[in-house]
A and B are shown apart, each in its own frame.
Chain A
Amino acid sequence: MTEIVATNETILVVGGGISGMTAALEAAETGKQVVLVEKRPYLGGRTTQLYKYFPKLCFPTCGLEINQRRARMNPNLTLLTLAEVTRIDGTPGNYQATVRLHPRYVNENCTACGDCATVVNTEFADEFNYGLSQRKGAYLPYRMAQPQRYVIDPRIIGTPEAEQAKAACQYNAIDLDMTPQEITFPCGAIVWATGWQPYDAAKIQPYGYDRIANVVTSVEFERMADPNGPFGGQLVRPSDGKPAKKVAFIQCAGSRDRNHLLHCSRICCMASLKQATYVADAYQDAADIRIFYIDIRAIDRFEDFYNKVSAIPQVKFIKSKPASVTVDKDGNPIVNGVDTEGYHRYAEPFDLVVLAVGMEPAVPKDAFPVPIVVNRAGFIEAAPENGGVFAAGGASDALDVNRAVQHATGAALRAVQVVNRVRGVGV
């Protein structure tokens, strides 16, 4: 049984992406007790699945590593992975949280040696790569996963493979008798940092994501570009492995559209500008990159990045929201539309089409276990009615990492103020 030592001065953080980690660490480093609840088997959320960060084009691994180390070193932080908050009762300064813990079937003895995986053959779609590759039923979710511990997929539990995995482990780390648990503990304030998810591209029917192999989403493209990703970092087409040199980026795929998401997702313009550099770097002069857009929203200081990418001769901008994507007999996706600067009709074949999908809240409007005020897009509002519950990062808006982290720090401060009131210090 997992024991949580908590009081109503404890801060609960829900979601362990970059925002949740930041809020948890900022609060823990002021001396507060923090419980961090993460649904995945590891920390970091969606930033772990990015290849590079705009605007500096550095690797997310370095920022993640710093935060992982902060998390490991801090005695005030209790981390619960494979966990979900199912219920919250009470009032600010006096909440009771109920958390459901899913079994990992691997305990803290695990050294991540990987012996268990060598004897398991059953494979499943790798969620870390958005299903572009397979992983085994005993797996480390990704190279830098924190905690650095293997997971046994519940789908092999009860099969001989699970027993073989257990037998293969020299450290007695595999415990097949683990069961789901529910725990309840007090807390004074809550930071809600459950982040975002990509809009379901299949719903944008004319773009053919569900029909055309060489139409992919921007989140998949991040994985494709990563040397640790499904294609070893080679920018190739999913259908036949041919180089993807001529690439179309379609902006606002699902965003700013009354048939889909009403809001501008704010990140996707920058993401496509960044991804254009992946193609230009990979294929140099042979690269041919076209960005189809309504208008490019590189907000405030990101204008510099826009200028930098526009100066790359292989990158062209076409002011037009394409009407449809079709496919020719060789599997080449064809982008069809009319441009806005001259009303020229085009039907242009590409090696690959990347849909810059919108960001929507990961938790649907009515799925919060606590009353919370959300805006029409489902992002959490900074409303007094939310009491001692504060949104952080992507759960509050479509934010880039820099803004998400700033926002999370603010949320941590608000939570600290609530638990300080419980203690009787401050206002």
Chain B
Amino acid sequence: MGDLNQAMIEKYRTSFLKEVEANVEEGEWVKMCMQCGVCSGSCPLGKFWNHPPQEIFMMIRAGKREEVLTSDAMWMCTSCYNCVVRCPREVPITHIMHGLAHYAKRLGLTPKNQPTAEFAQRFWNNLLKKGRVNELKLGVSLYFMNGIGPGVKTAIKMAPVGIGMQRTQRMSAMELFGGHAIKDLKGFHAIMQKAQELEALRIAQYSVAPRPTA
């Protein structure tokens, strides 16, 4: 991973904007931003971020590669789409934020212990196993994400919810042992394998030449 990061630094030495355009989903829209600020003001979580979207887009243009790719900003996006509906330039801000997060992950630059990144990874791993999300396992693994102490505390706090779900048959304690899978698990794994190959191909293509803009 670190090598890919180095290779990209070499390749796009002169322009981080070009790197984003070539490698980040919807990245070619970054240059359309006119720095009006509507997106930043519209973000319900904006005040918790290092950098609101408007600032991220300016930083990309200013070549602040390191700061952007290691920022927690794009990991904080909850996909509410408030910014997208208001942006006077119709910049697909939400998609770019996710694109940046994805790219940062590919380069191995995700901030350490970033909860959203951590959650996304656990969700993905959980889903891949049986072709469906095992909510009990996912939930429990999240409680214990920050260690045994906080895990036990959260588990006790959430116990009534779990019991309620059991009683209404929304969840079964048996899921903790293995858990049930979808019907054709082998088929599902083959699909995911193929999808990952296609994705790798697409990424490889991206990195060669910028996509033509619409």
State the A residues within 8 Å of B (CB). 206, 252, 256-260, 294, 319-324, 336-340, 343, 345
Most buried by A among B39, B86, B88, B89: B88
Secondary structure class of chain A's binding surface, majority of residues? loop
Most buried by B among A319, A320, A321, A324: A321
**In the complex, which residues of chain B have a beta carbon less than 8 angstroms from the beta carbon of A256?**
34, 88
Task: For the complex formed, measure the closest distance between the CB of A228 and the CB atoms of chain B, giving whole angstroms.
Answer: 36
* Contacting pair A258 B41 (CB below 8 A): no
* Contacting pair B54 A343 (CB below 8 A): yes
Given known A-B contacts A258-B89, A323-B42, A339 and B37 have beta carbons under 8 A apart:
yes
Nearest residue, chain B, Cβ from A259:
B88
Bound: A321/B34 CA distance, A: 10
Most buried by B among A252, A260, A343: A343
**In the complex, which residues of chain B have a beta carbon less than 8 angstroms from the beta carbon of A320?**
36-37, 41
Besides A252-B88, A294-B36, 10 more A-B contacts (Cβ < 8 Å) are: A260-B88, A294-B34, A320-B41, A321-B36, A323-B42, A324-B41, A337-B37, A338-B40, A338-B52, A340-B36
Secondary structure class of chain B's binding surface, majority of residues? helix
Nearest residue, chain A, Cβ from B82:
A323
Bound: A206/B41 CA distance, A: 11
Task: For the complex formed, measure the closest distance between the CB of B29 and the CB atoms of chain A, giving whole angstroms.
Answer: 12
Task: For the complex formed, measure the closest distance between the CB of B59 and the CB atoms of chain A, giving whole angstroms.
Answer: 11
Most buried by A among B36, B40, B42: B36
Pick the contact of B88: A257, A324, A339, A340 (CB < 8 A).
Answer: A257
Task: Count A/B pairs, Cβ under 8 Å.
Answer: 63
* Contacting pair A345 B89 (CB below 8 A): no
Within 8 A of A (CB), among B1-52: 34-42, 46-47, 51-52
Task: For the complex formed, measure the closest distance between the CB of A209 and the CB atoms of chain B, giving whole angstroms.
Answer: 15
Task: For the complex formed, measure the closest distance between the CB of A226 and the CB atoms of chain B, giving whole angstroms.
Answer: 31
Bound: A294/B89 CA distance, A: 13
Nearest residue, chain B, Cβ from A294:
B36
* Contacting pair B54 A206 (CB below 8 A): no
* Contacting pair B34 A338 (CB below 8 A): no
Task: For the complex formed, measure the closest distance between the CB of A264 and the CB atoms of chain B, giving whole angstroms.
Answer: 11
* Contacting pair A338 B41 (CB below 8 A): yes
